[in-house]
Amino acid sequence: MASRLFDGIYVRDTVQLTAKLMVVGPFGVGKTTLIGAVSEIEPLRTEEVMTQAGAAVDDISGVPGKTTTTVAMDFGRVTLADDLALYLFGTPGQQRFAPIWRDLARGAYGALVIGDSRSLDQSFEALAMVESYGLPYIVALNRFPDTPQYPEAELREALDLDPGTPLIMCDARDRESAKNALIELVRYLFARHQEMS
């Protein structure tokens, strides 16, 4: 089957399992960057240039140089093992796009919530949305150049995380770091599934 050979476009013939996962978080936290870093296909991006009208509601103080924003979704795919492929759906980070979340969350197994330790309070909305849809999740704090270091216990308390919810650090720009965050999510989802079986 020459047309089915894995060439970066088609899913490998060995893939037996696929999983839809959400990549969520506040505006400017690195969702599009993470999907772009890890996707083995050209990611679908629905980014538009930010306008003066959005300046009043989209705070770019923590992300200087940001000129675009996701307005519908990002999509990518990564094969984690010979038999497992993940379909990644990234959501816009602003509240005005909340209706899109509902549609994207249908059929998802879980979510990678990306946060920024410089502004943890901005993660609350994303965490509340994921919990309202009943999606299991882990939290990955993206490393920015000026990211301060805090003890994990303080971060967990500030985010009000359940003791069993994984909290990890990642660099959304780095393929291996992004991939490791997704692996951690898959391990967590598998362990939860085993517990419930």
Query: Mind listing the pLDDT tens digit for each residue in 90-138?
Result: 988 666 667 777 888 899 999 999 999 999 999 999 999 999 999 999 9
Going by C-alpha positions, the residue among 107, 32, 91, 86 that lies closest to residue 63 is: 32
pLDDT computed for residue 4 by the predictor: 39
**Whole-prediction pTM:** 0.82
Burial tier of 94 (Cβ tally within 10 Å: 0-12, 13-18, 19+)? middle
Dihedral sign from CA coordinates of 58, 72, 67, 116: positive
For 181-197, b/e burial (b = at least 16 CB within 10 A) is bbebbbebbeeeeeeee
Comparing 95 with 89, the larger pLDDT belongs to 89
pLDDT in tens, 16-70: 899 999 999 998 899 999 999 999 988 776 655 545 555 555 555 555 555 555 5
- Identify the three-state secondary structure at position 73: strand
**Order of strands, sheet of 137-142, starting from the edge strand that comes earlier in the sequence:** 44-49, 68-81, 84-90, 17-24, 110-115, 137-142, 167-170
H/E element holding 74? strand 68-81
